[in-house]
Every structure is written in C-alpha cells, then in structure tokens.
Structure 1
C-alpha cells in the first residue's frame, strides 16, 4: 500500500482524493490546503486527515473546529508520492519542496511540460512513466485529444487532425467570479496550446487546434476534422474508437443533444457530481467524406483527468507495471464501463 498525499483540495483535488480512497493498492494519507470553509468541512465529513499548508491556515482551521492533523511538512514525511492539485503559481513553488525532499510528485496540466520533463496519458505512455520521480497529467482538453487521436492512430487511420475547441469560461462553482456573458473570446494564437501540449506526450501527432471561450461552464466541446491515411468505413472508425475504454459513444437521436443533457445522464447514472471520466463522442454525428473524418464530442473539464491521475500514481510508484491492468482497475473502481 503506497501512501499518497493530495495538496490542494479544490475542484480536482477533492475528486483525486475520493478516487484514491476507492483503490485497494494505495492509501490516502491526507489532504492539505489553506482553506477552512465548506470545502475542507466536507473533507472532515469524509474522515480524511486534514493538514494545513501554513501556520496561519492551521490557526484558522482550528478556530473553525477543524481537527488539524499536522503541517504540510509533516504530511510529506509520511508519504510515497504527492499529487499537487494547487493553482499553478503555488504548484511551481511546491515542486521545489518535493524535489528537495526527494518525494515523487504529480502535477496537473496547468503546469508546463518542463516542470517534470514527462507528460502523462494512460493509454499513450504509461510504460514510460514507470518508477519516474515526477510526471504531469495533461489538461482535460489535451487528454481528450490524445484518447481520440491515439485510438485512430492505433488503427493506422490517422494522417493529421485539425480541431476547434469551444472552451467553458470557468469552472461551474466559480461562475460568479470569472464567467463571461453575452460574448465569445477567441484565443489569439493558432495553434492554441492544446495541440502542442498533446505533442509533449506523442511527438508524432500532426495536430493543430484553435480555441474559443464561450459563456457556459458545464464542459468543453470539440469539433474535429481528421485526414485519414486511407478511405475507411464508419464501422472501421467506430471500432477504432471503441479500443479506448475511456471514450463513450453517445447518440444524438437518444436525446443527448447538448452538454447539459449529457451531464444529466451521468447524474442519473449515480456518478459523484455527475462526473464524466470518458470522452462523450456522438456516434450518429460522425461522418466520413472520402478520406476525411468529422466528429464532435464533449469533455468534462472537472473529471476527465481523475482516472489518468490514479494510473499515474501506479506508474510512478511501480505498484503496477502493466498499463492495461492499471486502466482496468481504475475503470472498475470509478464505474467506467
């Protein structure tokens, strides 16, 4: 049993903590943050050990009736690996602490590739992460790009890909702070950062992305135009996509006509927070014209990287050296069918 710490108990951190708690080959040693509001109070209700990142935070937590197990430094002495889910400016400082203490660590996609020298996506490069000191789980959008394009690449169908991303304006719980209204904001640079980010995992991918921020918070939506290496049938393409257990084919004609209806389906399935760990790709929208493939899908920006993070823990700690076995184990624990 490897002892894992989660630093930063926010949108990603709380989901990573819950996912770790579901595994039978790793143990959640504690969560660490500076906040003492409803978020940490919920961690207390789940009986997670709470650690304070600073002395000031510890005093505030205690004044709010939170039992503080210790300091961040104390937590780091007890663990085999840390998953840092803090905002990127904080994570960059924490990384120096982890390196100085010789602690294995995982950061999220907001950090640059050079922070770890390795970027991770379970179905792509699990083997290359085994027993590394650090990795970076790529962002939600990049994870979706890698899952879908890698499935096509495995079937020797992929020549190159061009994608347009409709990006949610902010996380749902922060809509009152950083949302946009009655406007759309294009990213200035083409390619947007997601295409080059995917190439940090697979340098052979010929992929260009452009992105637009839109006034909604539930998810991202992608539209893709893929040049195939050869003419293929729709059935061949769908069979290729089905080789990824983390792509869920959905039907527009079954009432799944929008990101909110898809979210509702996952809520009805009993997923915590209605989380969608899979890429939800519209099967009946997928079209082929000659050697061009067109498809669209939805990405849950809060959830898609959670299974990847669990797999990254196994790879870095050497709990499991077979990527397929880790993916299966993670899928089963999170009810990914």
Structure 2
C-alpha cells in the first residue's frame, strides 16, 4: 500500500488530535510535528514523531527548553507529501506560500477563510471536488455539523430550508483560566452568523440562516434547528435520513444524557481518547416532526469533530481513496465511530 507522508504544523487542540489520527491510518505516515511552543504542549509530543521548529527563531528557544528539535519546518516540508496546518487563526494563511514553494499539498482549518484555498471540505458532501487539488480547507466544527445534519435531510430529498440557533461555548477548556464570559451570554454581532454562509461554501444550494451567541461554558456547542421540509413527512422518515447518514449518532434524554456535560462524561466512560466525540450527537427523543416542519437539537464537540474530516481531506488531495465512501470507511473504522453510543447487547454500532 502506498503511504502518504504527512506533516502537522501546529500542535494545539486540533493539531495533536490530527497527529494521533494520522498515526492510526494504514495508508499514512506521520513524518513530523512543527510548532514554536517550548512548554508542556510540545513536550507531550516527544516520542510521537520528530519535532521541528516552525520558525528558525523558535529553534533556539525550543532547544534551550529541552525540546529535541530535528530541524526547521522547511526541513520537514522537504520530507513530506502534504502538510496539515493547525496553527492559530490567520497564521495558516501566511504559511501558504511556504507550502507552495516546497511543492507540498496542504490542508487548512476553519479559522481561515474560504478564499485562502478556494475550496471548503466536508467528506460526505464534496469529497470528489477535492480529488487531486493542491489544497482545501476543512470547515469549522459548527459548520461541519451543519453540513452533516442538513446534508442528511437534503440527500433524502426532504430539506427545503433551515433556520438555526447556535449556543457556542466561550473558549477551549484548557484556556478557561485566561478570562472569558461568566454569568452572561454574548450575541454574535450579525445575522446570519458566519456559520450559515460558511456551510454554503460546501453546499451552495442550502437555504439557511444561523443566529449564534457565546455562552458561559466550555463544554461543546449546542444547536437548535427549525427545518422546513419539501413535503409532509413522518418522524420515522426523518430519523431514517439521519440513520443513513455518516457521523451522526443518537443520544437520548431517556438514557440520562440530559445536558452537554453528561455526554462528555459518557465519552470518557466509553474510553474515548481525550474524551473526544467525532460524531454529531443528535437528541433522538427531541426530534419533533409537525407536517412539513422539523425541530431538533444536537451537540458539537469542537475539539474533535473536524479531525476525521481532516484525515479524509488528506486522502482526497493525495488520491489515496477514490471517493468519500472508501475514505470514510477507513477513517471511521480506525476511529471507532458509532451510530449510537448506547447499544443494546448484540446490536451493531
């Protein structure tokens, strides 16, 4: 089997998860990790892959801090086929010319704008259009969930238009000591919020409007959707559309999963690495159908949901898998993806 040589530039919340995910893939090799950090974050990468300094200036500081530096990012780019840039927002855009000069393909994340690559990616929706491209951008966590959920109904011929409200977590848990929102909620300053237009970069024909606010919590995002269907449908038809779609898993209030934190605790009890949830967690018992309208709510674990999409983006750009189904089958198996988190004995996951 051909192995695609992968670099990860940026070893933060997403980067460390992407690095671990690449190591799980039978057709990929993690050649190195690049960063500028000198603290515990990069030191935890020791042993996972060789560590490179993302800038020449950082190399001395990293070595002085006891980090075993194998070289610079430029050295790393000379050894790989593709780089996944998971650096902080707007940093990646400044790295594009370096990647092009090195002749490597690159995957950016949702913090960058659509115009940086001219292509935005969610595997189930537009894998084919990414095949062989120089680059793509994996859309944000919230946008990924929107494309998965609304795409499922659209593919079933059921979706006419969508109106959604997003309650976003204020910050990543590990940064909650740096300040943030307490005892209040902060509306985003425009309607639609950016997630709606962002989803349309992947599915241009979606008729949707999103409204968003930041809440005083750090555990996942929460979406509420009012959907108009193309016709009257039964609740079972709607649930069947979600069952047929990839990377959506049902949760139920009747199982005691009554809040965002309870689902996170479930992920830990299931032995998920870092407590990650790669699926969209859709509350099955709250899906309500009234004629041609649907009301639903779901949970988005923003630290993890884009990681399988990033793996599929690597395969699309490098041609490792010919279509979305082939790539997602490998990715989902290596991750242990589920359709329902609590199965009855003998049920298939």
Note whether the superposition's TM-score is higher than 0.5: yes
Report matched runs for 1:125-274 at 5 Å. Answer: 125-274=126-275
2:43 is aligned to 41
1:43 alignment partner, SS class: coil
Residue correspondence of structure 1 range 42-121 to structure 2 within 5 A = 42-44=44-46, 46-121=47-122
Aligned partners of 1:182 and 1:163: how far apart in 2?
Answer: 23
SS in 2 for 1:111: coil
1:92 to partner: Cα distance: 1.3
Q: Secondary structure at the match of 2:249?
A: strand
1:336 aligns with 2:318: no
- Taking the aligned partners of 1:199 and 1:100, their CA distance within structure 2 comes to 31
Q: Which runs of 4+ in 1 moved over 6 A?
A: none
Number of the residue aligned with 2:12 = 10
Alpha carbons 2:23, 2:30 under 8 Å: kept: yes
C-alpha separation in 2, matches of 1:232 and 1:212: 31
Cα distance, 1:274 vs structure 2: 0.6
SS of residue paired to 1:188? coil
Q: Which string of whole-angstrom CA distances, capped at 9 and with x for unpartnered residues, describes residues 124-169 of structure 1?
A: 0001101100000000000000000010011110000000000000
Segments of structure 1 that go 5 or more residues without pairing to the other structure are none
Residue 288 (structure 1) aligned with residue 277 (structure 2): no
Q: What SS class does the counterpart of residue 242 from structure 1 fall into?
A: helix
How big is the shift at 1:47?
3.2
Aligned to 2:343: none
For 1:261, what is the secondary structure of its paired residue?
helix
Structure-2 separation of matches of 1:304 and 1:47: 22
Is the Cα–Cα contact under 8 Å of residues 169 and 178 in structure 1 kept in the other structure? no
Q: How many residues align?
A: 336
| Partner Cα separation in structure 2 for residue 47 and residue 88 of structure 1 | 25
Which blocks of at least 5 consecutive residues in structure 2 are unaligned? 339-349
Displacement of 1:99 in angstroms is: 2.1
Question: Could you tell me how far apart the structure 1 residues matched to 2:168 and 2:219 are?
Answer: 10
Instruction: Please provide the CA RMSD for this pair.
Output: 0.9
How far, CA to CA, are the matches of 2:115 and 2:56 in structure 1? 31
Output one character per residue of 1:279-332: Cα deviation in whole Å (capped at 9) or x when no partner: 000000110112110000000010000000000000000011121011011001
User: Could you tell me which residue of structure 1 aligns to residue 30 of structure 2?
Assistant: 28
Q: Distance in 2 between matches of 1:281 and 1:266?
A: 14
Q: How far did 1:38 drift?
A: 0.7
Note if contact 1:247-1:280 (Cα within 8 Å) is conserved in structure 2: yes
Range 250-259 or range 51-60, more displaced: 51-60
Report the TM-score when normalising by structure 1.
0.98
Deviations 1:243-273 (A, max 9, x none): 1220001111110001100001011111111
- How many angstroms does 1:178 deviate by? 4.1
CA distance in 1, matches of 2:98, 2:89: 15
Shift of 1:15: 0.3
